Amino acid sequence: MAILYRLTVNNPNFGTVQNWPPQIIESSWHTNYISKLHLIADNVAIREVIFADVNAFETWVNSNRLTDSGLVSALNEWKSAHGITYSEEFYELPAYTPSIAGLFG
């Protein structure tokens, strides 16, 4: 079964405060993972990734988890100082065969 992962960043100070502390923005973790967030509103950014199965999802999470204690500490201080929240959601997606043609016929 496919897995949908969603990370949502809610930044009430968007425009004056970055979503992430400078230490994270300058890190390879940000470059490889977080920089792919999509802004959907002035203060909300979302990253969604669909994985073929649970194993692919778990492999990806284990490879991309933020483990650097200095970055984790900077992130916690940033969240507290600026009221920014980060939430993760996980969904199982059943296979689906549409009864109509897709966007391209």
Q: Which long-range contacts (CB under 8 A, 24 or more apart) does 14-20 make?
A: 14/42, 14/43, 15/42, 17/82, 17/84, 19/45, 19/84, 20/75, 20/78
Per residue in 61-98, pLDDT (tens digit) is: 998 899 999 999 999 999 999 999 999 999 999 988 88
pLDDT at 83: 97
pLDDT at position 15 over 90: no
pLDDT at 35: 62
d(CA 105, CA 101): 5
Backbone φ and ψ for 32, nearest 5 degrees, come out as: -85, -20
Average pLDDT, the chain: 89
pLDDT at 12: 95
Architecture of domain 2-93: 2-Layer Sandwich (3.30)
Every domain of the chain and the residues it spans: 2-93
For the segment 52-65, the average pLDDT, to the nearest whole number, is 92
